[in-house]
A and B are shown apart, each in its own frame.
Chain A
Amino acid sequence: MLYAVLCYNSEDAVAAWSREEEDKVMSDLAAVERKYAAAGKLGPVARLMPTTAATTLRKSSGESFIVDGPFAETKEQFLGFFLVDMETLDEAIAFARELAVANPGVGAYEIRPLRVFKPGGSLEAL
């Protein structure tokens, strides 16, 4: 089963990480990624810019209009995601737990099975 593991946290708190905290979290996360990539279970990984960089297109009855900012103002923001291929939900939860250890503090991981997946072309990695 393909799962998206969606990461939520306060972007204020994440933006306030020191350089050392940032580097530590990223390298710990990378270690988890390497492990699952080696097992052929890790797909695309994305980290999103702050919600201030977002633009939202709202549609209602055929019309659409553009709003600056994220789709909804929330206390914790959608900050990034991992796509993984897991045998069971338990395995996906175990993966999320490892992410939580690599990136401690508050926040949440939503584990959401995929219905459709189109890997797409070859986007350049950032």
Chain B
Amino acid sequence: MSELSWIDLALSSARPQAMGALLRYFRDLDLAEEAFQEACLRAVRTWPEKGPPRDPVAWVIFVGRNSGIDHLRKRARQEPLPPEELLSDLDDVEGDLAERLDGSHYRDDILRLLFVCCHPELPATQQIALALRIVSGLSVRQIARAFLVSEAAMEQRITRAKAKIAAAGLPFEVPDAASRAERLGVVAAMIYLVFNEGYSAGEARRADTPFCEEAIRLSRLLLRLFPAEPEIMGLTALLLLQHSRRSARFSADGQIVLLEDQDRSLWDRRAIREALALIDKALRHRAPGPYQIQAAIAALHARAETAAQTDWEQIDLLYQSLERIQPSPVVTLNRAVAVSKRQGPQTALDLIEPLADRLSGYFHFHGLRGGLLQQLGRDREAHDAFERAITLATTAAEAGHIRQHLDALARDIAVTAK
């Protein structure tokens, strides 16, 4: 590892806490970002020569704060810059600085930083973009590429999102327990969105934009701040389990490989083991929630050595409890897969037909419905359902997957016609 790359790592892992503290000082996202950038530039200039500071986070906060104050002064046409030697020579102060300034604040600092990205007026894609830019420090170019827009367009979106946040006023009061729990829930949902953005794309064009890894990193960060929250354990476990299948989810030519057809030897056992450890910890709290239940379902798949060994009964039961806690047609749709394995396609079809109105625009509804109809030998109806699905596909891989079904059906229908 080169010298610059360890400095990069140190700075990027310092980022959430340092940005959180700088945001608290300056109450302005742009100023906090500029201050952080300035501190990073100075780190790159001075660390190689002086060696790393004992506490990189405290160093970055201290230097960033000075540079931000300086910026404000310049804006007010007051005193000139202090000499860099004074700022860089922090050996004596950094020790207790972290304790004094941040020991008691950093948890709420980081939570606030995450929370401001989740402003309810911002659409999901902007929340994701903002979190990746501000908290994770991904470049605008990286984010733009993932969303398939130009860098200028993404820059503009982020600027608008920030303006909206600034206009709404940043939440600077120290939250009480109830609002802290509420923030935590909102932030967890945003992290899940970040993950899904990476997961559902999954194709080569997004391979170099590490949304899934960033989401896992944010989730672990949140868990370190709130180590006794079983839902955050559940969220982290869920993300790890979904991500553990990344190498098996697509064939070499970019086609979707269904869970039951995946080569399980390609699953990332290390991620699975960590997820199982987190689920074990969460269970002790006896406070089940949606993330824990979804993680438990994913864990049952991870534990099955072959698709045939999947414990569909337990998965069905878990989906039923998810339906009770968080009723949604999508949850019922997912349960229908387990039901079809246990009780056959007709029972599953009966379960999902009542969802037709609410899920008429949902790719997976028509995909599953087509599959069930096909199993029942109702090829013409299956064909229509797949046709509907293909128009709703959001990625080429989804469309390609349905196309295979349609081709297979066309062969069947042709054979029957003869």
Contact = CB atoms under 8 A, between A and B. Distances in A.
Contact of B9 (A66, A105, A126): A105
Contact of B10 (A13, A17, A21): A13
Nearest to A56: B227
B149 interface: no
Given A17-B9, A49-B277, A50-B220, A75 B1 contact: no
Interface string B1-35: 10001100110110000000000000000000000
A43 to B, nearest CB: 22
A125 to B, nearest CB: 12
Contacts of A50: 220, 274
Contact of A21 (B5, B55, B223): B5
**Most chain B Cβ neighbours within 10 Å, of A10, A13, A17, A53:** A53
A40 interface: no
Given A10-B10, A17-B9, A106-B52, A52 B1 contact: no
**Most chain B Cβ neighbours within 10 Å, of A10, A50, A52:** A52
B127 interface: no
Interface of B is mostly: helix
A15 B55 contact: no
**Most chain A Cβ neighbours within 10 Å, of B52, B281, B284:** B281
Contacts of B157: none
A52 B236 contact: yes
B278 interface: yes
A16 B1 CA distance: 13
A55 interface: yes
Interface residues of A, number: 24
A84 B52 CA distance: 29
A69 B6 contact: no
B13 A52 contact: no
B224 A51 contact: yes
A12 interface: yes
Chain B: number of interface residues, binned into ranges? 20 to 34
B228 A68 contact: yes
Given A24-B1, A51-B224, A52-B223, A16 B9 contact: yes
A104 interface: yes
Contact of B13 (A13, A21, A66, A68): A13
B114 to A, nearest CB: 15
B1 A49 contact: no
Interface in A79-126: 104-106, 126
Nearest to B221: A12
Contacts of B274: 49-50, 53
Contact of B284 (A21, A49, A66, A106): A66
A7 to B, nearest CB: 15
A25 interface: yes
Contacts of A12: 13, 217, 221
A51 B57 CA distance: 19
A105 B6 contact: yes
Contacts of A15: 217, 220
Nearest to B228: A68
A126 B273 CA distance: 10
Interface in A1-45: 10, 12-13, 15-17, 21, 24-25
A69 B220 CA distance: 12
A69 B222 CA distance: 12
Contacts of B57: 75
Nearest to A21: B1
A66 B274 CA distance: 19
B92 to A, nearest CB: 18
A120 B241 CA distance: 32
B15 to A, nearest CB: 9
Top 7 A-B pairs ranked by shortest CB distance?
A12-B13, A69-B227, A105-B6, A68-B227, A68-B228, A13-B9, A53-B277
Interface of A: 10, 12-13, 15-17, 21, 24-25, 49-53, 55, 66-69, 75, 104-106, 126
11 contacts: A24-B1, A52-B220, A52-B227, A55-B281, A55-B284, A68-B227, A68-B233, A68-B281, A75-B57, A104-B1, A105-B1
